[in-house]
């Protein structure tokens, strides 16, 4: 994905029992919410990312702790992010953290956080 | 989902060979792009939907034709929508239509189009 100067990474917990449709919806929540953060606070990144074709990458983690560490790192690096907390109507308990959207942001920064993670 | 006055429906083609991660990214593209359409053109719907917690539902279709019919109906009903055309770097051919995002829009309208479709 070197051709993209900006990207958004969607981090999905795979230690939860979520089916294909549930994952798709949770990933979409993360994408929309993190995009909205970027639109409000990092408008130039947001615009450049849309112009490039809104590159998105979905990666997996296997624990809540891994999500929380990535959120903390995102905060330290002042990246836009959004944590998804599910209402728990289906498949997971209410209040479960399912996903984290990071970016859109420069790939060179975001890769420091997520470059080692496996694709979803 | 009767408690939600507004919703977004993400229509995913299941006749393509897309894995879990690919589907998640394509669904996220559809969600972000359709949301952006709504933000620009149906601002009140967009705001009300965000306020309600951005209800999203992922459904399946089994052909390109089904996607195109839903797009045509969305246009007729003047709903915000976004078709996702994949660059085809992985898993599908370049230019493949993978998803359609419809809404956010009033559930009462959107259900006319997608109420009969199966969940993804």
CB of B105 within 8 A of CB of B79?
yes
User: What's the rounded Cα separation, in Å, for the pair A32 and B94?
Assistant: 25
Please tell me what DSSP assigns to residue A25: H
pLDDT of residue B1: 45
pLDDT in tens, A44-53: 999 999 999 9
Name the domain count of chain A: 1
B1 in a structural domain: no
B75 in a structural domain: yes
- Comparing alpha-carbon positions, the chain A residue that sits nearest to B50 is A33
Whichever domain contains A52, its CATH number is 3.40.1490.10
B120 in a structural domain: no
Q: Is B85 helix (H, G, I), strand (E, B) or coil?
A: strand
A120 in a structural domain: no
**Along the 120 residues of chain B, how does pLDDT read in single tens digits?**
457 999 999 999 999 999 999 999 999 999 999 999 999 999 999 999 999 999 999 999 999 999 999 999 999 999 999 999 998 877 888 899 999 999 999 999 999 999 999 999
pLDDT of residue A92: 87
Return the structure tokens found at A11.
Answer: 């981090």
Q: Do B32 and A33 touch (CB under 8 A)?
A: no
CB of B99 within 8 A of CB of B29?
yes
CB of B34 within 8 A of CB of B103?
yes
Tell me what the mean pLDDT of segment A20-46 comes to: 97
B57 in a structural domain: yes
Provide the angle, in degrees to the nearest 10, between the axes of the packed helices A43-52 and A20-41.
Answer: 130
A1 in a structural domain: no
CB of A37 within 8 A of CB of A107?
no
Per CB-CB distance under 8 Å, the chain B contacts of A56 are 25, 28-29
Q: Is B7 helix (H, G, I), strand (E, B) or coil?
A: strand
Domain that holds residue A16: 6-114
- Here the ipTM equals 0.94
Give CA separation, B29 vs A15, A57, B32, B102, in Å: 24, 11, 5, 12
Nearest-Cα distance to chain B for A58, in Å, is 6
A101 in a structural domain: yes
- Comparing alpha-carbon positions, the chain B residue that sits nearest to A59 is B21
Residue in B20, B53, B56 nearest the CB of A23: B20
Per CB-CB distance under 8 Å, the chain A contacts of B33 are 54
Tell me what the mean pLDDT of segment A88-101 comes to: 90
Which stretch of DSSP H or E encloses residue B58? Answer: strand B56-61
- Comparing alpha-carbon positions, the chain A residue that sits nearest to B87 is A53
A41 in a structural domain: yes
């Amino acid at each position: 994905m070197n051709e993209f100067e900006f990207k958004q990474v969607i981090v999905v917990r795979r230690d939860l029992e979520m089916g294909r449709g549930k994952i798709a919806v949770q990933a979409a929540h993360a994408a929309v919410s993190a995009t909205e953060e970027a639109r409000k606070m990092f408008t130039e990144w947001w615009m450049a990312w849309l112009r490039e074709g809104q590159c998105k990458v979905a990666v997996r983690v296997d624990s809540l702790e891994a999500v929380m560490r990535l959120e903390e790192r995102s905060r330290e690096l002042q990246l836009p992010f959004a944590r998804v907390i599910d209402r728990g109507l289906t498949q997971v308990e209410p209040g479960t953290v399912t996903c984290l959207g990071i970016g859109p942001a420069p790939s060179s920064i975001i890769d420091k956080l997520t470059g080692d993670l496996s694709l979803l």
